[in-house]
Amino acid sequence: MTILIGVDVGGTFTDFLVWEDGRVRAHKRPSTPADPSRAVLEGVVELGVRPDLVVHSSTVATNAVLERRGARTALVTTEGVRDLLTIGRQTRPDIYDLEPETPEPLVAPGLTFELHGKLRPDGSVEEVLDHSEVRALVQQAEEEGAEALAVSLLYSYVNPTFEEVFEPVAGGTSLYLSLSSRVSPEYREVERTATTVLNAYVGPVMSRYVRHLSEGLAEAGAGPLRIVQSDGGAADPARASALPVATLLSGPSAGVAGAFAVARQAGLERVITFDMGGTSTDVALCDGAVPTRADVVIGGFAARTPVVDVHTVGAGGGSIARLDAGGALRVGPQSAGADPGPACYGRGDHFTVTDAQVVLGRLGAAGLLGGAMPLDASRSLAAAAPLLPAFEGDARAAAQAVIDVATANMERALRVVSVQRGFDPREFTLVAFGGAGPLHACGLAEALAMPRVLVPLMPGVLAAMGAAQSDLTATRSRSVLVPLDDASMPALLEALDRAGVEAREQLGETSATLEEALDVRYVGQSYELMVALDARDIEAAARAFHEAHEQRFAHSEPSAPLEAVNVRVTARVRSQSAMPAPEFARAGAAPVGTTQAWVGGRVAEAAVYDRAALAPGDVLDGPAIVTQLDTTTLVSPGWRGTVDTDGNLLLERA
């Protein structure tokens, strides 16, 4: 492969990383929220290349859920359980909220239909299915204006035949069909139904987007398209369109994968990834591996699908600062996004985190995107006016307070993935990336007493790099509900073999390697933990479960019997896009200038470095500012930066 492009669409910028004849280069351009594909296609044209492959981490499915812009969806359930999603599990996400608000179901009450055919728990038929009723229900869904149809029948994870009857019937209509036996063939009817409905809800939106983008890339002379999934792997357009629920964390997963790959290359196995973009911040704790889990919650809606374990907060460069009714300073989660963007971009009027950095003199002297995007400091000062009465008219004090509040919001996010799960952040390295991450990294590390920060060579486009390097994957699961012991091995092996065949068929690669895992719990528990099954060694899997339970819940019972709930098999074709060795200038780069910046509670003269001129062995003492095309790095007072052999900037307390 000669030319490969990785693309990550963010709330403010769309990032590109291009592999061309053994060389790599970065590119950024403003996002186009109304039509994300426009920024992708225009970026490819601006790059002036005809890529052989484009790998894209997408937020289309995520935004469709968060903004409630999905398709009008109908649901078919077994008779007697039409209110399944309304009743749910009756869990309370916030037990101290006196007036909790439950999001409106994705399926309107009048679009839920019941089917009289019934299966028993073992998959045998209790009441025969009437095919004419299936045809009538599909017709009724169409007449009610539904664009998508979700079918989730009791015990279809054991016997899918009743659901499969809908396939040829709906195939003659314009309805997007989502079957629970294809989307989430696992027991627990609430979660399986919710996942199937979510898949149907975003299906038409994702299908249209993928088709439009594929056609646009073809017109530009580009090769095929792949979409990053929530587990960090990639899928072809057909699979991304058929299973869009698997792309709900597409963007964050690519960033974590890219960050951990860079950290491991640098010899760091225990890291916390910190991806701060224009709209949000994503964090993940990697203790020797990229963390994964089997479920996700988006906009209050839960889904069972493999995802990278990422925690997200509404704190980004575009987060809007304001005073609430009581006069307290609030930052986010509302964002200025790409349009109009922070005030300093020249169109917006809201004071954002980015504007605060401009007012403090840490950002904007040379503009963004290598000087192609100048910043208007006077506009930032004007936007700060509503905040100034609370700070005795001091714009710098207001800007510093905005940074402090944003840092506190992000600190809480890092504590969720570390302290709340039994990890000490002082034992980890913070990997800072995204357009705004390196600018805030030292302050965040200080708040958590973390000893070091790793800023990758191209931090602003690291998610695009993770996308480009993603493997082609497909994961299939099956519920087994058997004791985890030798007597259950025949049932486990049969389920693993069937899931492996399905995963390879879904991937379209019979030679793909298989990775197996089990969802395990103590007998009597309601929920389980996922553990790897290496060489089908159930004793090793049991030990791994006890260790994971001890880590997660601070206790375990090695003598207690275990139960295997689900088997999971991932078919994988490894990516061939190895990161080429970078080329460096000669060591000993000098500052390209100085600037007056507010750092460490005072105005100080900070040295300004050009990242492209740095080479392995170079040392930078704070306060210093490092500029490059895709981001700006702040080396705070008391910190020292060293360039390693791969060009990463390792920041440590001096």
pLDDT tens sequence across 48-60: 899 999 999 988 8
Q: What is the pLDDT of residue 367?
A: 64
Per the CB < 8 A criterion, the answer to whether 585 and 614 are in contact is: yes
| H-run or E-run covering 296 | strand 292-298
Residue 244 belongs to a domain: no
What's the rounded mean pLDDT across residues 518-535? 93
Mean residue pLDDT of the chain comes to 91
The Cβ-side half-sphere exposure at 624, using a 13 Å CA radius, reads 22
Residue 514 belongs to a domain: yes
Supply the range of the domain harboring residue 156. Answer: 73-201
| H-run or E-run covering 85 | helix 84-87
Closest to 205 (Cα-Cα) out of 225, 179, 171, 178: 178
Per the CB < 8 A criterion, the answer to whether 567 and 331 are in contact is: no
Residue 212 belongs to a domain: no
Q: What is the pLDDT of residue 578?
A: 67
Final residue in a domain of this structure, among 351, 376, 405: 405
CA distance linking residue 420 with residue 325, whole number of Å: 32
Q: What is the pLDDT of residue 590?
A: 85
Distance of CA 558 to the CA centre of its chain: 34
Alpha helices in 299-394 (DSSP H): 353-359, 377-383
Closest to 5 (Cα-Cα) out of 417, 461, 441: 461
Q: What is the pLDDT of residues 554-594, one digit of tens each?
A: 899 999 999 999 999 999 998 877 666 677 777 777 888 89
CA distance linking residue 455 with residue 651, whole number of Å: 8
Q: What is the pLDDT of residue 429?
A: 97
Strand-pairing partners, residue 331, are 321
CA distance linking residue 111 with residue 102, whole number of Å: 19
> 434 and 301: one domain?
yes
> 162 and 77: one domain?
yes
> 81 and 182: one domain?
yes
Place of tokens 């500029």: 627
> 460 and 482: one domain?
no
Q: How is residue 557 written in tokens? A: 């019972």
What's the rounded mean pLDDT across residues 395-418? 94
> 441 and 302: one domain?
yes
Instruction: Say whether 141 sits in a helix, a strand or coil.
Output: helix
> 537 and 642: one domain?
no
Per the CB < 8 A criterion, the answer to whether 249 and 310 are in contact is: yes
**Taken in order 151, 152, 154, 157, is the CA torsion positive or negative?**
positive
> 552 and 482: one domain?
yes
Band of residue 31 on the pLDDT scale cut at 50, 70, 90: confident
Instruction: Say whether 60 sits in a helix, a strand or coil.
Output: helix
Per the CB < 8 A criterion, the answer to whether 201 and 308 are in contact is: no
Question: Does pLDDT of 1 surpass 60?
Answer: no
Give residues with Cβ within 8 angstroms of 209, minimum separation 6. Answer: 36, 37, 58, 60
| H-run or E-run covering 216 | helix 189-219
Residue 245 belongs to a domain: no
> 422 and 519: one domain?
no
Per the CB < 8 A criterion, the answer to whether 3 and 17 are in contact is: no
Residue 23 belongs to a domain: no
pTM: 0.88
Count CB neighbours of 168 within 10 A.
10
Burial class (CB in 10 A: 0-12, 13-18, 19+), 288: exposed
Residue 380 belongs to a domain: yes
Bridge pairing between strands 472-483 and 3-9: unpaired
To the nearest whole percent, how much of the chain has pLDDT over 90? Answer: 67
> 82 and 192: one domain?
yes
Residue 333 belongs to a domain: yes
CA distance linking residue 182 with residue 170, whole number of Å: 15
> 601 and 558: one domain?
no
CA distance linking residue 216 with residue 225, whole number of Å: 11
> 137 and 282: one domain?
no
Report the number of distinct structural domains present in the chain. 5
Strand-pairing partners, residue 606, are 595
> 331 and 311: one domain?
no
CA distance linking residue 217 with residue 469, whole number of Å: 19
Least confident of 84-98, 405-419, 615-629, 637-651: 84-98
